[in-house]
Structure 1
């Protein structure tokens, strides 16, 4: 049997039924790409496992949160599945739901199905923030009358999509309109012109350091995947995203070459960068160890701002990637001790862990890592 439900799970399932609003209909389908993938009670690995599905299973999608899909099963039960362990199916690729999993039948709806939901700014000048609350950094501002495409909602804040592809949150009490039919459409300003917001990263000089390279493969996973390949792939994706936001970017290496630690630091110092970010994957002799950590030089040695940059990067990675949070740590790593600007080293998962190694090597997960690092840098530079 594909979906294996544990006997003690009636309580969280009951809570899901009571408190999760039913949508009008399935928003699409995903197909499981992992061998056996957990279904959870919420959008994160810290939520209880409700059951499992096997590779090839097709699930009806009824929502999305923090990179996890909320899916509907044939008997009306709902669960969350990690977005990087499934693939979205195009309409032409949809088959009859496989292995006993069926999409929910259509139900009458009070929501409009004619198009995307938008909200209109009612305040004079309203902040756009990195998360649903006033404690999140300000990413930009919009003026009264601006119309924003809504892609989600959390705690009374709307998650909106901007013309340049960035996402931000706006207070629900400072806009009018809104609803449940979300779609990815650009920001429309007054007068009907597309007007992307300037990024807080515009003009910043950021050094990206892909760990290892050339004759130094770094750590090697159970199937032979090398750390140096992962770090370079993420660094290239990150560089593109930063440049799209107006940042100046310097990669310490942009190919599979051997590079000592001193030249990496020297490049950053000579360029007088605003921030230095070294990308790595962790490893352990215990293959069960997993998670994310961000490192900076101990107090008294590191440049001012390194500890804050580490917190921003760590929080963004945990929020985006939903892997165990091993926290912010200190160490005298050469590349974070001898740099003359805020500098951190991000350990993205454990390549020695079979499950995390399988994630590290996928383009989809590498893209998510790059986006998480962008978010971390945006938080750091936010006014």
Structure 2
């Protein structure tokens, strides 16, 4: 091959690598410009981007409507599962040589039983994947199961991927009803969105939301490693995640040999054999310092107002995640939280204050994330109104929340500050405005991208509120 031919071949291989997320040219520190917040699958696609599973093209675009090849699918799936490529001395398939750009990922995906070759012994790496094939691959990769019949009108009881498509429906990976179009080529957006939903249960669809059912008792996980949390009461149901040994759980019901618990944004089930009863009551009792407290939670920004944007993060997304987790924790502690927004919508500042005042909230907690012209700016700070009639109480609340956040997150303590923010001035109760950290600082941003960040930040805020009431 000529020198020019070698260069063109290398460029083409690099292009394919980027397309599947195998390259590192495109930065993972920004959003894809062609996948705006209004786009279907926006959050799921950017979850994979933030995890480094997909990177996009060298121009920063994702090209969501492009189709996906089998090689691309193998790279994305192995990346999502955290599997390294498998180097072999002899290729499994005659059409996937050792110098093929995705050889290692294809070999690993086949070794794991996620992909299979064809009857003729070939892999067909450049062949476009269709939606039926994608369903089979995702169901195998994440061990998804459940259900016997499909809601899709074009999936018969004899379809070769009936079981896998139903598994995706049952586990909230695909939208139910209408036509699935199994023979249609799957797009990059579709495949990435489905993989992200399988990877992170909080993105799954149609998960039943826990109501304020009565906690029967508190249990403790007794396994030495981890205990699977399943979608239903039985081992035939898919695994949503796991709990660590020693972790406490509130048990809401007993179904045979399984306990029903709250998990992520829905119900989960764990084997009763590995959970011991430690108390008849959880913290959801009248003895809790938060019992019956009306607490207004105000996740800042939203909708058309993203707030600060930096390092691949939008302020509105960060604070909503923390706010929703705080809402769950306060409910579990017996409080009566009120959210000014519970999804990606824009709410005027006046309306936020009105929601809190109309609810006759005991305290008001507005959650934000910071930004600065200098990337060196970092840390956590909490603001109160300088002119509020409840300034003394607000300061006490702010100090206790800020202290807990710094302790839990390990951020720089920027202290309690005063300013006449509108939401603090117009609310009638003690109120604080939290700046969790700086999106413009790489260290703070990396912390916010961690999978347990919402839980850690919300726990710190809840504990700060408990400290406030315990001191009264």
Using the size of structure 2 for normalisation, the TM-score is 0.41
State the Cα deviation string for residues 259-318 of structure 1 (Å, max 9, x = none). 110000011011100111000001100101110001101155445511111011111101
Residue 317 of structure 1 corresponds to which residue in structure 2? 405
CA distance in 2, matches of 1:376, 1:276: 13
CA distance in 1, matches of 2:289, 2:297: 17
Q: Is the 8 A contact 2:402 2:416 kept in 1?
A: yes
Question: Which structure dedicates a bigger proportion of its chain to helix?
Answer: 2
Residue 292 of structure 2 corresponds to which residue in structure 1? 203
Residue 443 of structure 2 corresponds to which residue in structure 1? 355
CA distance in 2, matches of 1:361, 1:257: 22
Residue 244 of structure 1 corresponds to which residue in structure 2? 332
CA distance in 1, matches of 2:374, 2:335: 39
CA distance in 2, matches of 1:311, 1:185: 37
SS at match of 1:228: helix
Pair 1:316–1:216, CA change in 2 (3 A):
same
Q: Is the 8 A contact 2:371 2:440 kept in 1?
A: yes
Residue 231 of structure 1 corresponds to which residue in structure 2? 319
Pair 1:374–1:231, CA change in 2 (3 A):
same
Residue 374 of structure 1 corresponds to which residue in structure 2? 462
CA distance in 1, matches of 2:417, 2:328: 28
SS at match of 2:467: helix
Pair 1:185–1:323, CA change in 2 (3 A):
farther
SS at match of 2:372: coil
2:452 is aligned with 1:341: no
Write out aligned runs for 1:264-283 (5 A).
264-283=352-371
2:402 is aligned with 1:331: no
Matched pairs, number: 214
Residue 295 of structure 1 corresponds to which residue in structure 2? 383
Q: Is the 8 A contact 2:387 2:420 kept in 1?
A: no
2:302 is aligned with 1:213: yes
Q: 1:204: how far off?
A: 0.5
Q: 1:222: how far off?
A: 3.0
State the Cα deviation string for residues 164-216 of structure 1 (Å, max 9, x = none). 59xxxxxxxxxxxxxxxxxx987735xxxx33343211110011000001111
SS at match of 1:278: strand
Residue 344 of structure 2 corresponds to which residue in structure 1? 256
Ranges in structure 2 where 5+ consecutive residues have no aligned partner: 1-219, 222-245, 252-273
Question: Which structure dedicates a bigger proportion of its chain to strand?
Answer: 1
SS at match of 1:259: coil
2:278 is aligned with 1:188: yes
Q: Is the 8 A contact 2:400 2:467 kept in 1?
A: yes
Pair 1:186–1:372, CA change in 2 (3 A):
farther
Q: 1:362: how far off?
A: 2.8
CA distance in 1, matches of 2:411, 2:438: 10
Match of 1:365 among 453, 457, 460: 453
Write out aligned runs for 1:41-60 (5 A).
none
Ranges in structure 1 where 5+ consecutive residues have no aligned partner: 1-147, 150-159, 166-183
Q: Is the 8 A contact 1:227 1:280 kept in 2?
A: yes
Q: Is the 8 A contact 1:220 1:226 kept in 2?
A: yes
Q: Is the 8 A contact 1:163 1:186 kept in 2?
A: no
CA distance in 2, matches of 1:271, 1:303: 20
Write out aligned runs for 1:83-232 (5 A).
164=250, 188=278, 194-197=280-283, 198=285, 199-223=288-312, 225-232=313-320
Q: What is the CA RMSD across the aligned residues, in angstroms?
A: 3.4
CA distance in 2, matches of 1:219, 1:262: 20
Q: Is the 8 A contact 2:323 2:458 kept in 1?
A: yes
- Could you say which structure has the larger radius of gyration? 2
For CA contacts below 8 A with separation 6 or more, give which structure has more relative contact order.
1
Q: Is the 8 A contact 1:303 1:340 kept in 2?
A: no
State the Cα deviation string for residues 79-108 of structure 1 (Å, max 9, x = none). xxxxxxxxxxxxxxxxxxxxxxxxxxxxxx
Pair 1:242–1:330, CA change in 2 (3 A):
same
